Amino acid sequence: MWSIRFIIQLMLITLIPAAVLFILCYLCLAVAGVVWTPWTCIVEQRKIVKNLHRIDFEITETNCDLLAKDDMMRVLVSRAGDQHKISILEFDPLNWAPLPDFSVSDNGEITVRVEFVGEIVHQESEWNGRPIHYQIGRIEYANPQKQELNDLHCRRVRRPDFAPSSPPNPKLDPWLEWSLECRGPEVR
C-alpha cells in the first residue's frame, strides 16, 4: 500500500510540471492574441471637452485584438463635473476619419457631427431630456434593414469605384457596392 508521503510526492512531481507547461502555453497564446488577457482590450481617451453649456463630452476608443482587430468609438456625455457618463453614440471608426465634433445650442439641443463611420452600433435620441441630433457624412458599411438611424436623412449611394469580386460574391458584393450617405436635420 502506498504511503501518504509517496502520494504527495507523486502529485508534486506531476502537477508542478503540468502547471508550468500550462502557464507557458497560455503565455504563448496570449502573445499570439488567441486567448484573453488583461491587455487584450485597450481603452484610450481621444478627446475631452469640458463644460460646454454645462455638459462634459468625452470620446473614447476601445481596441480589442483577440482574433481580429475590433475598434469601437464612443461619445460619452455627463453633466459638467459628474463622473457618471452615458454613451450616446457608439460606432465602428474608420482609422483615417477625424474625431467627432459636438455643439450645444442655446435651447440645450446637442448636435454630434461625424464625417465618416464604419457602422453605427448604438445611438441615443435624447439625453437628460435634451434632444440629440446627428450629422453623419457617410456610413461605410451600413445595412439599411438593421441600422437604427433615428433622425438622420439617408439615401443609398452606389460607389463609383466599385468593382465586383471575381468570381462575384453574392454575400459580400452588395455590402461593398452600396453605402449610405446621411445628414442630420438642419440645426438652428
Residues 100-115 have pLDDT tens digits of: 998 999 998 999 988 8
Give the tens place of pLDDT for each residue, 82-97.
999 999 999 888 766 7
Please check whether residue 55 lies inside any domain of the structure.
Answer: yes
- Residue 11 identity: M
C-alpha cell at 160: 463609383
Residue 11 sits in the same domain as residue 52: no
Residue 99 sits in the same domain as residue 171: yes
pLDDT of 69 above 90: no
Residue 14 sits in the same domain as residue 76: no
Look up the pTM and report it: 0.60
Please check whether residue 73 lies inside any domain of the structure.
Answer: yes
Residue 50 sits in the same domain as residue 29: no
Residue 71 sits in the same domain as residue 92: yes
- Give pLDDT, residue 4: 84
Distance of CA 51 to CAs 55, 58, 78, 79, 173, Å? Answer: 5, 11, 10, 8, 45
Residue 158 sits in the same domain as residue 78: yes
Say if residue 48 is exposed, middle or buried (CB neighbours under 10 Å; 0-12, 13-18, 19+).
exposed
- Give pLDDT, residue 66: 59
Owning domain of residue 10: 1-35
Domains held by the chain: number: 2
- Give pLDDT, residue 79: 93
Residue 56 sits in the same domain as residue 77: yes
pLDDT of 147 above 50: no
Please check whether residue 188 lies inside any domain of the structure.
Answer: no
Mean pLDDT of the chain: 77
- Give pLDDT, residue 72: 87
Residue 97 sits in the same domain as residue 131: yes
Residue 99 sits in the same domain as residue 55: yes
Question: Mean of the pLDDT values across residues 40-58?
Answer: 89
- In terms of pLDDT, which residue wins out, 79 or 151? 79
Please check whether residue 116 lies inside any domain of the structure.
Answer: yes
- Give pLDDT, residue 48: 92
Residue 126 sits in the same domain as residue 66: yes
Distance of CA 159 to CAs 129, 136, 156, 165, 179, Å? Answer: 38, 17, 10, 14, 7
Residue 3 sits in the same domain as residue 92: no
Question: Mean of the pLDDT values across residues 119-133?
Answer: 88
Residue 2 sits in the same domain as residue 66: no
